[in-house]
Amino acid sequence: MEQVDHIPRPAIIESIRPETPTEKTFALRFTDGDPFNFQAGQFCMLSVLGRGEAPFCIASSPAQTDAIQVTVRSYPEGEVTSALHELTKGDYVGIRGPMGNGFPLQDFVGRDILVVAGGIGLPAVQASLLYLLEHRSDYRNVTLLYGARTPSDRVYKDDLAEWEQSPDILCKQTVDMKGDDDSWEGPVGLITTLFEALEIDGSQTSVIIVGPAVMYPFVVAECRQKGIADENMYFSLERHMKCGVGKCGHCTIGDKYVCLDGPVFTYSEMQQMKGE
């Protein structure tokens, strides 16, 4: 019988990379020697002992099993996100997981993949992007559309710069506004503007969409416009969570537990959800 492990596994912070003024990426190495096997799109519960535990998406490649990366935005009201931002290299954290269903990337083999990420949504699709690039020959066209509020709000700037030059992936970025960054030479406009020049075969495309909820209806409309069916649109949803295993009751939407039945749902499934 599958059991809940309430006790987190210890991991040490190997490095901390600032992404933006409010976001940091932590590389966490497990110290117990056991592999951590997960699928792209699954999440983990991250602990700072004494401060608490919260869910974060795993933003490193599933091929790496001795360490993971997570990107954390610090919120003033977020006890755990604040605590994580106070930690330094060499500090310990606790990890439970992996949890949730992940993106069904094996089911996408032979298809075109469109990834649409907004702001801090990129870390939630990063493991998928890395997996797709590592298994590049299994897929047809791979496209990433990334939108952020301003150029300096973008995470993973080095990866994005590399992907813009890569023949393996079509990477397009936009920002809502230039802000105080005069060096930005890319387009300015909402993420939906990136769809205009996009040439895709909607019937052959599976799309992964993660970003702020306000973005979703507009992206869905663009995807439908391109002929992508609702059941081929995959979202990763976020909710307040305490257990990650379908018991504590915080993450329910309708009759679904985001932690157990999700966090990945198709748009068809989301339309069936009863209630907020």
Partner 1 sequence: MNNVARFVLPAPRLSEALEALLELPDQVVAPVRAARGDVHFEPVESADQIQTDFGNTLVSPIEYLLPSQEVMFEYRLGPQGQPELTAPAPPPDRIIFGLRPCDVAAIEYADHFYVEREPADTLYAARRQATTLIALACAEPANETCFCSCCEGGGPVSESGFDVQLTPLGDQYLVEVGTEKGQRIAQQWQSLLKPAADELLEVREAQTRQVMEQQLETKSNLAAAIRRITAEQVNPEIWEAIGHDCYSCGGCSYLCPVCTCYDVVDVEYDDTSGARIRRTDSCRLAGFVREATGHIPRATAASRARWYAYHKLSYDYHEQYGRYGCVGCGRCVITCLGQIDMPAVCARVRQSETEAAS
Per CB under 8 A, contacts with partner 1 among 19-78 are 31, 47, 49-54, 75, 77-78
Select the residue interacting with partner 1 from 68, 132, 215, 243 (CB under 8 A): 243
Sole window of 62-70, 123-131, 175-183, 241-249 interacting with partner 1 (rule: CB under 8 A): 241-249
- Which residues touch 209 (CB under 8 Å, ≥6 apart)? 115, 116, 117, 216, 219, 220, 223, 233, 234, 235
Of 225 and 271, the one with the shorter C-beta distance to partner 1 is 271
- Which residues touch 18 (CB under 8 Å, ≥6 apart)? 24
Binding mask 158-197 for partner 1 (x = CB under 8 A): ----------------------------------------
Count Cβ atoms within 10 A of the Cβ of residue 76 and give its class: 0-12 exposed, 13-18 middle, 19 or more buried: exposed
Of 129 and 258, the one with the shorter C-beta distance to partner 1 is 258
Of 232 and 266, the one with the shorter C-beta distance to partner 1 is 266
Q: Measuring CA to CA, how many Å separate 125 from each of 37, 58, 122, 213, 274?
A: 17, 9, 5, 15, 26
- Residues paired with residue 27 on neighbouring β-strands, in sequence order: 15, 69
Q: How many residues bind partner 1 (CB under 8 A)?
A: 44
Q: How far is the CB of 260 from partner 1 (least distance, A)?
A: 9
Two tokens, residue 224: 């439908």
Alpha helices, H only, 26-152: 79-86, 122-134
Q: Which residues bind partner 1 (CB under 8 A)?
A: 1-8, 10, 31, 47, 49-54, 75, 77-78, 80-81, 90-92, 94, 238-240, 242-243, 245-250, 252-255, 274-276
